[in-house]
Amino acid sequence: MSTNNSIQPVSPASELLSNTTCQLEEDLSISFSIIFMTVGILSNSLAIAILMKAYQRFRQKYKSSFLLLASALVITDFFGHLINGTIAVFVYASDKDWIYFDKSNILCSIFGICMVFSGLCPLFLGSLMAIERCIGVTKPIFHSTKITTKHVKMMLSGVCFFAVFVALLPILGHRDYKIQASRTWCFYKTDQIKDWEDRFYLLLFAFLGLLALGVSFVCNAITGISLLKVKFRSQQHRQGRSHHFEMVIQLLGIMCVSCICWSPFLVTMASIGMNIQDFKDSCERTLFTLRMATWNQILDPWVYILLRKAVLRNLYIK
């Protein structure tokens, strides 16, 4: 900022810059960010093509509902990776000079909204998929008669609107998303928190994310146990069960990837929100856990690419 004697108007972006600095030992280069974003976009594009083709082939209700939700999850990952990655590359290319290129804080607000939405929405969709499969396996008659494609689309819309609502909460509450200490991303206020509202946003984000992971774990456990019981009890409806097993394996893959990638970041945000740890002492760790979370958008599509029935059969034969 200027140190001239003349009075200069204060940019909104300057007020949102963190008072602490946070740098990893080796900063990411623009080239790495571009490669990272390109790999994510290509991976999600391939997964979308595979899921869309599968959705056209399988018109069975128990399969189409799952594929619809899976397609929505991968599409969400795709656009989240595209938008957040593009903004991140621009920030690096501009030498992280937010005061110069984002004087009105519009870009930071868009970045923060996209970060929250693309973080929570895939977790919500993963838990919704787990609930749908749990009902389909444990209550097949209820699932086939009561849960239609229309109902699935309504639940999908509800989940997306709720994620958008959570992402817009700071804006609706006349709060701004804050440029973080590394100056490479925007999120809720994470340093020098003195207001209960700032803590509420962090705790809400962490609670919803961990709740979604917990629901996925419980539902997938119930589904897996039910399928194993049926497998040992009877050999009827073998083809239908094989599709169930394929979907459950994919769900387990999504759950494992989400837990590994997102749990550290969610726990860190909860710790900061509850004042268990100071952001100044954990900003490098926060940035590391954030980068772990971004890997979720790259690994998610490979769950569908690699854990398909045809691929698993070929691996089993070999």
pLDDT digits (tens, 9 = 90+) for 20-36: 556 554 455 678 788 88
State the residue for tokens 């119930």: 222
Please, are residues 83 and 56 in contact by the beta-carbon 8 Å criterion? no
State the residue for tokens 């501009």: 94
Provide the pLDDT for residue 1.
39
User: CB burial class (10 A; 0-12, 13-18, 19+) of residue 203?
Assistant: middle
Distance of CA 76 to the CA centre of its chain: 8
Please, are residues 210 and 120 in contact by the beta-carbon 8 Å criterion? no
Give the residue-averaged pLDDT of 95-99: 88
Q: To the nearest whole percent, how much of the chain has pLDDT over 90?
A: 36
More confident: 285 or 23: 285
| Phi (first) and psi of residue 186, to 5 degrees | -125, 145
For 275: left if phi > 0, alpha if psi spans -120 to 50, otherwise beta; the answer is left
Provide the pLDDT for residue 9.
46
Distance of CA 146 to the CA centre of its chain: 29
What does 169-190 look like in DSSP terms, one character per residue? HHHHTT---EE-TTSS-EES--
What domains are defined for the chain? 24-316 (1.20.1070.10)
Q: Best-predicted range by mean pLDDT among 43-47, 113-117, 286-290? A: 113-117
More confident: 197 or 30: 197
| SS3 state at 193 | coil
Give the residue-averaged pLDDT of 35-46: 89
Q: For all residues of the chain together, what is the average pLDDT?
A: 82
Provide the pLDDT for residue 211.
97
The answer, yes or no, to whether residue 317 has pLDDT greater than 70, is no
Sign of the torsion formed by the C-alpha atoms of 32, 33, 34 and 40: positive
pTM of the model: 0.85
Torsion, Cα 228 234 238 241, to 10 degrees, reads: -30
The answer, yes or no, to whether residue 14 has pLDDT greater than 80, is no
Provide the pLDDT for residue 78.
93
Please, are residues 131 and 219 in contact by the beta-carbon 8 Å criterion? yes
Q: Best-predicted range by mean pLDDT among 5-19, 68-82, 109-123, 176-190? A: 109-123
pLDDT tens per residue, range 260-280: 999 999 999 999 888 876 655
Is residue 59 very low, low, confident or very high in pLDDT (cuts 50, 70, 90)?
low
The answer, yes or no, to whether residue 102 has pLDDT greater than 60, is yes
The answer, yes or no, to whether residue 170 has pLDDT greater than 90, is yes
Please, are residues 19 and 192 in contact by the beta-carbon 8 Å criterion? yes
**Spatial separation of the C-alpha atoms in residues 94 and 111, rounded to whole Å:** 15
Provide the pLDDT for residue 123.
95
Estimate the crossing angle of helix 106-138 against helix 61-93, to 10 degrees: 160
The answer, yes or no, to whether residue 206 has pLDDT greater than 90, is yes
